[in-house]
Structure 1
């Protein structure tokens, strides 16, 4: 594999991409542009995901806390079962929840479970909301198993902290229940994290070479959106904030030279040869008509993440596109054809 997969983007019009490699297959999910469902697709190669059939495994409720703005699903495999963590809200507007805060949406974190071998055909059970310890805007949950324990990392607003969301971690009793109180790992504090919005969100975890790398995204989702990094030793107490070192500068940013803007909300997977692969979304333009929330053209991309002799990631810059991409607000069907299933509000 070179520094990129054969075809990029790997999936068109799917923001917040999450890829899991299991038994030689890549499982992909991400935010559906209508924000009304959770979808999965599967392929043997990353570059085949765009053409892979997409299956809806869960749809929003007609009313209640899981009825609007279904965001950033992630698929995980824990103890022989499949789990999808996603965020949902009771409405499609925000509220000003804290002094000095901008409007914040009303999301909470929820979990789906499937115990069948095939998550595309098996039954998914709604395990409900994850109780994170307090009720406020919460989203972008990710999970990892380390040292025999499952952990949850997520973004949530705290009314005592200025801004929209901080990063928290907790150990889990089971895949839908926390076993320990939430511990804050990071809050928006550096200049690059507070451009447009005060945000730490979209965490993802990579354990490699004796260290735990925790990436996240900050700032508003336009050209300023970028990825940050926290690092801990593999044997450290991950629930101790002192175990983590936060990089002051972003590690992955927009690159006008290749027409990639706002790279972020990443996940990690691996190549068939065991190389680490960075998956993320980005746009190809900076001028957005209307509300950016409803612009569908954050496309999922992937590239090999190399490491230097000291075991540090060499983040580099977003790779250029090798596939034509849409630049209008028309939403494409999974096969790349125009679809009228979604109409921009």
Structure 2
């Protein structure tokens, strides 16, 4: 992470090249455009423990411990946007008995009995630590924002004590891993367990303890192994976990590697003898732990998301904030997380993040009018209020390289989409049809080559155009239609 200057220059050069390849020449004026930053600083929020984060179809998604319902999610196309994104409730089914101590929600995209769905795994109970169990909720579709419905307590009839549930697929088999104890929590040291799953909400068979606090660095404050998170690379499987008491500055990460063939055999897992990520007093970082992983938008970089404190006296509460940083790999194939950087350290954003502008599409033949959404319908109007209704982020097309899509600025995750040749602003449902309907090839303006026109990806004989001020997808055969299908990008 020390080579940030050269890397930042390479990042900007790569992004500019990618924009030229994907979009062609895009005319952007300074008026009305808000440039995105190519750098960021931690933390990502003022309070955010036990973070989980992923990048999916053009957006970052993030969850942290809510302590009580509802479970919320933040979403944004950029890290800068994520820092300002609202925490949107996505699951709020918390009856008595599982409405207290709502901890460590994670969300995973799994192919289950109902097809590809998102699953939220979270810990909750009745307020007594002995009552903590791991629960699961399933999304209705492929949108990480839900809605979600409760599927049950993941341990079923086994009714094991447990917190910090996570999943990993090894050899085509789904496994559940968590922090548990042999019986009651009282008098036992929380350890890392693994068990096979019959489906994303049900475990099956016997559990196996694969790590227990044994080294000096795992028992500082309280003997503890918790927060397992799987990491796979080059055919290898690792599990990070948090060790020692979260109440102190020595909370840190350990690492397990699957060196055998049977994940349900304790002897198949090898624990590294030293921690892999821990306090950095010189940088003012204390208790870094309870992490997750995500890849950069272009898939070329690996990133760790974790929480930490800025003082050794801060504990296991709301002072913990969410931070992210890139990590690399050692020659032997193990991850190299480096050291946690200080709050305020300027870092380049994950590779492939959209670095562009918020744009307006001005009608070529009605220059006082702009493409805008109103009640999710799309038309051209003058004097748009609020202004963000007429602002879009031109992003890499959902259908792939060589296309563009138009994402709403004030409704992130909503895109201009055609259906029955009409246009609306619609949330991305993650389907291939949506991606095709919301993707266009930007070409030279049909009425003026210095402007732009947008050819449908899945109906290449048709173009985006306005007709009676409403946006349509039409064939273009007349001079009037060519003007209607031409826009200036401001």
TM-score normalised by the shorter chain: which range applies?
Answer: 0.7 to 0.9
- Structural mapping, 1:1-345, within 5 Å: 2=4, 6-32=40-66, 34-59=67-92, 61-64=94-97, 66-79=98-111, 80-91=116-127, 93-94=128-129, 105-120=130-145, 122-131=146-155, 134-159=158-183, 163-221=188-246, 222-233=248-259, 236-273=261-298, 274-288=300-314, 292-293=315-316, 295-322=317-344
Residue 136 of structure 1 deviates from its aligned partner by 4.6
Residue 62 of structure 1 deviates from its aligned partner by 4.7
Cα distance in structure 1, aligned partners of 2:160 and 2:205:
18
Report how many aligned residue pairs link the two structures: 305
Cα distance in structure 2, aligned partners of 1:163 and 1:192:
18
Rg larger for: 2
Cα distance in structure 1, aligned partners of 2:99 and 2:157:
22
Residue 15 of structure 1 deviates from its aligned partner by 0.4
Instruction: Report the equivalent of 2:398.
Output: none
Q: 1:218 to 1:132 in 2, by over 3 A?
A: farther
Cα distance in structure 1, aligned partners of 2:48 and 2:99:
20
Report if aligned partners of 1:36, 1:69 keep a CA contact under 8 Å in 2.
no
Output one character per residue of 1:199-222: Cα deviation in whole Å (capped at 9) or x when no partner: 110000011022111100011112
So what's the TM-score if we normalise by structure 1?
0.82
Q: 1:145 to 1:31 in 2, by over 3 A?
A: same
Report if aligned partners of 1:184, 1:241 keep a CA contact under 8 Å in 2.
yes
| Secondary structure of 1:182's aligned partner | strand
Cα distance in structure 1, aligned partners of 2:203 and 2:93:
24
Q: 1:47 to 1:152 in 2, by over 3 A?
A: farther
Output one character per residue of 1:64-100: Cα deviation in whole Å (capped at 9) or x when no partner: 2x12010000011001101000000112x44xxxxxx
What is the root-mean-square deviation of aligned Cα atoms in Å? 2.3
Output one character per residue of 1:84-121: Cα deviation in whole Å (capped at 9) or x when no partner: 00000112x44xxxxxxxxxx4210000101223232x
Residue 134 of structure 1 deviates from its aligned partner by 4.1
Q: 1:181 to 1:214 in 2, by over 3 A?
A: same
Residue 159 of structure 1 deviates from its aligned partner by 3.4
Cα distance in structure 2, aligned partners of 1:81 and 1:50:
26
Moved over 4 A (4+): 1-5
Cα distance in structure 2, aligned partners of 1:309 and 1:136:
39
Q: 1:211 to 1:62 in 2, by over 3 A?
A: closer
Q: 1:173 to 1:313 in 2, by over 3 A?
A: same
Q: 1:67 to 1:16 in 2, by over 3 A?
A: same
Report if aligned partners of 1:232, 1:244 keep a CA contact under 8 Å in 2.
yes
Cα distance in structure 2, aligned partners of 1:309 and 1:78:
31
* Greater percentage in helix: 2
Cα distance in structure 1, aligned partners of 2:229 and 2:144:
22
So what's the TM-score if we normalise by structure 2?
0.59
